[in-house]
Amino acid sequence: MTGRRGLLLALPAAWLALFCVVPFAIVATISLAESVLAQPPYTPLLDWSGGGLPAWRGGLANYGLLVEDGLYVGALASALAMALAGTAGALLLGYPMAYVIAMARPGGRAVLLMLVILPFWTALLIRVYAWIAILANDGLLNRLLSALGLIEAPLALLYTPFAVWLGIVYGYLPFMVLPLYATLVRLDPDLLEAAADLGCRPLAAFLRVTLPLSMPGVLAGSLLVFIPAAGEFVIPDLLGGPDTLLIANLMWLEFFTNRDWPLASALAVTLLALLVGPILLLQRARGDGA
Partner 1 sequence: MRHRRSAWLLSVVVFGYAFLHAPILLLIAYSFNESRLVTVWTGFSTHWYQALFANPQLLAAARLSLAIAAASAGGAVVLGTLGAVVLARLGSFRGRGLFAFANAAPLVMPEIITGLALLLLFVALDRTLGWPDGRGALTIALAHMTVATAYASVIVRSRLTALDPSLEEAALDLGATPLVAFFLVTVPAIWPALAAAWLLAFTLSLDDLVLASFTSGPGASTLPMVIYSSVRLGVSPQINALATILVVAVALVVGLAAWLLRRRMH
In whole angstroms, what is the distance from residue 181 CA to residue 188 CA? 14
- Apex 30 CA angle, 25 and 35, nearest 5: 170
Output the smallest distance, CB 283 to partner 1, in A. Answer: 6
User: Phi and psi for 47 in degrees, rounded to 5?
Assistant: -100, 115
4 vs 152 by CB, closer to partner 1: 4
Give CA 142 to chain center in angstroms.
29
Q: Assign residue 224 a region (left: φ > 0; alpha: ψ between -120 and 50; beta: otherwise).
A: alpha
Q: Which helix (H) or strand (E) holds 68?
A: helix 61-68
In whole angstroms, what is the distance from residue 224 CA to residue 286 CA? 11
Output the smallest distance, CB 64 to partner 1, in A. Answer: 20
Output the smallest distance, CB 73 to partner 1, in A. Answer: 18
In whole angstroms, what is the distance from residue 243 CA to residue 264 CA? 20
Output the smallest distance, CB 57 to partner 1, in A. Answer: 16
Output the smallest distance, CB 4 to partner 1, in A. Answer: 6
